[in-house]
Structure 1
Amino acid sequence: MFELRRLRLLHELALRGTIADVAAALSYSPSTVSQQLAQLEREAGASLLEPDGRRVRLTTQGRLLAAHAARALELDEAARADLSSAQHAQITVRIAVMPTAAETLVPPVLTLLTDRVPDLRLEMVEMAPEEGLFELQARAFDLVVAEQYSGYTRELREGIDRTLLGADPVRLAVPPTSLARGISDLRDHAWAMEPRGAAVREWSVQQCRAAGFEPDVRFEATDLVAHARLVAAGHAAAMLPDLAWTGDRSAVRLLELPGSPVREIFAATRSSSRDNATIAAVLDALTEALAAHTPH
């Protein structure tokens, strides 16, 4: 029989690529991971790893067993969920959410779930969508709240389902004293945007290019509250989704962007969770919280 913990190590190696990354993710030492994978090779009676420079890579047999390991982990997850439900035991659901969802969606979601699923323990980590979606596949989380912009669809991952929660309008924010009437009036203005590599950064730059200029991005921050404060202080313009506003928006002027774009807010879950009633309850609460959000 294969040891499930060793199968998980192989699954993690298939996703993360290096023994050091697997060790860091699971709080093991690299030598422990190597020893356990060597034991798994003995159990399998086949070579699962081979040298690749200073690293290792999966052999054909290793990739085959890693695929079976993923399915074994799904079955283990389903079995544990069924047992917890039958015993009316406390159920823990771990979610990774982008910053705007952490601030505006999670508090009302917790309120809704307190009455609906009293045995639920919801644990949240604020995390960029790119990282959260990867960690979902690695089983660090049960659900991830993420976004995607028109023309920048996120990578589709095997074994991951998506549920559309709703649409979040994106508007142009300018200082209250600005005379700008649209994005084309801001070619010489400083901009606040998210760091390079983020999908929203690429989308925002494309909006400026469509208006005929390259944006002067002087301020980079993942925190959209920082963007809003820079705009309010008269130092920048920014493109901000409605979920970024948790209070008064009168400190800035909001203008419509061409085409009135929206970003899609979606929840990603593993396909093995399709029949999980607790995950379904969390999805319902997220959908309701987003629909009820109305910026002031």
Structure 2
Amino acid sequence: MFELRRLRLLHELSLRGTIAGVAASLSYSPSTVSQQLALLEREAGVALLEPDGRRVRLTPEGRMLAEHAARALELDEAARAALAAPGALEPVRLAAMPTAAETIVPAALTLLAERVPQLRVELDELPPEESLFELSARRFDLVIAEQYPGHTREVHPGVEHRLLGEDPIRIVLSPDEQPAPLASLHDRAWVMEHAGTAARQWAVQQCRAAGFEPDVRFEASDLTAHIRLITAGHAVGMLPDLIWGDEPSGMSLAQLPGTPVREVFTAVRTAARASESVTLVRAALAEAFASHRRVAP
């Protein structure tokens, strides 16, 4: 029989690509990971790893066993959820994109504190690109992420998405400016998220559709930095309404062509969706999002 803990190490290696990455993710030393994988090779009776420069890579047999390992981990998780005693609540590890972490999550935690105060929820604020990967790697149990129009997220096997709702995206200018159409901002400096993110790709496409290449002079993952740069008159940007919480923005807002919205969703591993703890947190997040009301700017 294969030991599940060693199978998880192989699964992690198939996702992260390096022994060091596996060790950092699971709080092991690299030597411990290597030793355990060597034992797994002995159990399998075939080579699972082969040298690749200064690193290692999976052999064809290693990749095949890693696929089986993923299924074994899913079955283990599903079995644990099915056998859990009613009312026995396990901690929920939640990863949320910044705008949700600052608005939706606190409201949901308030609901949970009133209804199930014994339920422990741990939060990590991460961009969707990272949190959805880490969900598949079992670092988190539940993720709040977003999807921009025309930019679908990568589909991870064994992960289920559920829509929370839609979040309008608008042009944001400093408070002392008048709202302006996108095409008229062709000569302005822009603040956007970093290259490679869905938000950046989408925003650049909006500018190109309006007939210009944006002068992205400022890059920041923290949207608070966007707001401060725009408030000071150094840039213009595109921001979702959720960033303002339930308070007036105080900014000059303009509609984008087509009045686009991003989809905000929760994601869980299919094997964990029956977990009572995950179900309670997911329901509270949905209720918090539904009750969220933007005050007119």
2:91 counterpart SS class? strand
Report the counterpart of residue 39 of structure 1 in structure 2. 39
> Where does structure 1 differ by over 6 angstroms across 4 or more consecutive aligned residues?
none
1:74-119 Cα shifts (integer Å, max 9, x gaps):
2322333345434x44411101100001000111111112233333
Report the residue type matching 2:244 in the other structure. W
Report the counterpart of residue 78 of structure 1 in structure 2. 78
**What's the RMSD between the two structures over aligned residues?**
1.6
Q: Percent identity?
A: 64
Report the counterpart of residue 221 of structure 2 in structure 1. 222
1:236-271 Cα shifts (integer Å, max 9, x gaps):
111110100036435311111100000000111111
2:195 counterpart SS class? coil
Gaps of 5+ in 1: none
- Residues 250, 129 of structure 1: alpha-carbon distance in 2 compared, 3 angstrom cutoff: closer
- Residues 190, 249 of structure 1: alpha-carbon distance in 2 compared, 3 angstrom cutoff: farther
1:141-191 Cα shifts (integer Å, max 9, x gaps):
001111110111111111111111110000111112224521111111111
Determine the C-alpha separation between the residues in 2 that align with 1:117 and 1:67: 37
**Aligned-pair distance for 1:71?**
2.0
Report the counterpart of residue 60 of structure 2 in structure 1. 60
Report the counterpart of residue 146 of structure 1 in structure 2. 145
Report the counterpart of residue 48 of structure 2 in structure 1. 48
Determine the C-alpha separation between the residues in 2 that align with 1:115 and 1:230: 38
Report the counterpart of residue 287 of structure 1 in structure 2. 286
2:205 counterpart SS class? helix
Q: Which runs of structure 2 are paired with 1:1-296 in the superposition (5 Å)?
A: 1-86=1-86, 88-246=87-245, 248-296=247-295
- Contact kept in structure 1, 2:179 and 2:252, CA below 8 Å: no
1:85 counterpart SS class? coil
Report the residue type matching 1:74 in the other structure. E
Which TM-score applies when normalising by structure 2?
Answer: 0.94
- Contact kept in structure 1, 2:246 and 2:293, CA below 8 Å: no
Determine the C-alpha separation between the residues in 1 that align with 2:121 and 2:190: 37
Judge which range, 228-237 or 96-105, deviates more. Answer: 228-237
2:226 counterpart SS class? helix
- Contact kept in structure 2, 1:117 and 1:278, CA below 8 Å: no
